[in-house]
Amino acid sequence: MPHAEERTLGFTAPLCPDNLFGHLVATAVPGVEEWHDGAYRRSLALPGGPGVVALRPGADGDDHVRAVLTLTDPADADRATALARRILDLDADPAAVDTTLRADPALAPLVDAAPGRRVPGSPDPDEFAVRAVLGQQVSTAAARTHAGRLVRGHGTPLPDGFAGPASTLTHLFPGAPALTAVDPDELGMPQTRRRTLLTLVRALADGDVVLDPADVPAARAALGALPGIGPWTVDSVAMRALGDPDAFLPSDLGIRVAAERLGLPARDRDLVARADAWRPYRAYATQYLWAALDHAVNVMPG
């Protein structure tokens, strides 16, 4: 029987849950992530075997999130807790972030409307890098479809009943070594992106690219040196998987639309120059810019 354990994950208030849980659920990979019974749940690859973490938003005014861990090995509880904190960016300093961003008149109304936005994270940088390539120049729905196909074909199945009744969690996301066996013909995407994905997973599996949050500059350089990996992908991985608080996505379509709505510069280089005032928290500015859009990533799941 799996081991079940509950943890209380504290944080410094405020925390805006809408974009945090909304983004995680809107981009959830079928079989690996779900919104179930009022909680974001996902499978985790842990040293002692598979695990599942369920993260339930607190009530207004709470200074904690409740985490329910389902583990193969109880010794993995601390590791699973650390990954849960990374997913929800619970170690952020919202006072420092919001004070910096509120100084810009264009961002101040967004900060005041919903302070404490966090950067939705990933427990596995390699996984997120794969997902970022799958999401290049396609819709959120298409990226989820591509990722779900890889999970079904190459992910490790969870033991029967491990995730609980009525759960849709079925697999661990496949690691890079497993994905090197992907047949290019099974990838429903343009040939150039197929090559990019297969080059990436081979580089990750061979150790030519190491996505270590403890050395973000090296990870950025190695990832950016791969063919087909441009600044959008590098900064997406840095922001969501490596914990770089200053990663920025000026070429992102959503950022461009938000910039237009807010009267910010339209050209990338001009927007980057304007964003210099948001340092060292441009990743958080990205969350506030996305908040100007009517998109599921900004909506608390129902």
Beta bridge partners of 34: 41
As for how many domains the chain has, the answer is 2
Cβ-count burial 44-58 (b if 16+ within 10 Å, e if not):
bbbeebbbbbbbebb
Same domain for 107 and 235, yes or no, is: yes
Q: How many helices (H) and strands (E) does the chain have?
A: 13, 7
Contacts of 78 (CB under 8 A, 6+ apart): none
Pair (145, 100) in one structural domain: yes
A 10 A CB-CB count for 208 gives 12
Task: Say if residue 113 is in the same domain as residue 214.
Answer: yes
pLDDT bin (cut points 50, 70, 90) of residue 60 is confident
pLDDT at position 287 over 90:
yes
Q: What tokens appear for 115 in the block?
A: 């302070």
Q: Give residue 59's pLDDT.
A: 81
In this structure, are 149 and 260 located in the same domain? Answer: yes
Do 78 and 95 belong together in one domain? no
Within this chain, do residues 13 and 109 fall inside the same structural domain, yes or no? no
Host domain of residue 167 = 89-302
- Final residue before a domain boundary, out of 88, 113, 139: 88
136 lies in the same domain as 285: yes
Beta carbons of 31 and 152 less than 8 angstroms apart: yes
Q: Do 130 and 36 have their domain in common?
A: no
> What's the CATH number where 14 sits?
3.30.310.20
Whole-model pTM: value is 0.96
Q: How far is CA 165 from the centre of its chain?
A: 26
- Of the residues 88, 121, 152, which one is the last residue of a structural domain? 88
CB-neighbour burial class of residue 165 (10 A; exposed 0-12, middle 13-18, buried 19+): exposed
* Residue 27, pLDDT score: 96
Using the predicted structure, report yes or no on whether residue 61 has a pLDDT greater than 80.
Answer: no
The answer to whether 289 and 259 have CB atoms below 8 angstroms apart is: yes
Q: CA 224, 228, 234, 237 torsion: positive or negative?
A: negative
Among the three residues 46, 62, 88, which one is the final residue of a domain in this structure?
Answer: 88
CATH number at residue 189: 1.10.340.30
Write the pLDDT tens digit of every residue in 156-205: 999 999 999 999 999 999 999 999 999 988 888 899 999 999 999 999 99
pLDDT band of 248, cuts 50, 70, 90: very high
Please indicate, yes or no, whether residues 42 and 150 belong to a single structural domain of this protein: no
Predicted pLDDT at 94: 98
d(CA 260, CA 160): 49
How many other C-beta atoms are found inside a 10 Å radius of the C-beta of residue 64? 14
Closest CA to 240 of 290, 291, 283: 283
The reply to whether 99 and 41 lie within a common domain is no
Residues 99 and 56 in one domain: no
Alpha-carbon distance of 127 to 174, in angstroms, equals 8
For residues 101-121, average pLDDT: 97
Looking at the predicted structure, is the pLDDT value of residue 260 above 90?
Answer: yes
State the pLDDT at residue 137.
87
Q: What is the pLDDT of residue 19?
A: 92
Q: How far is the C-alpha of 100 from the C-alpha of 167, rounded, in Å?
A: 41
Task: Please indicate, yes or no, whether residues 81 and 114 belong to a single structural domain of this protein.
Answer: no
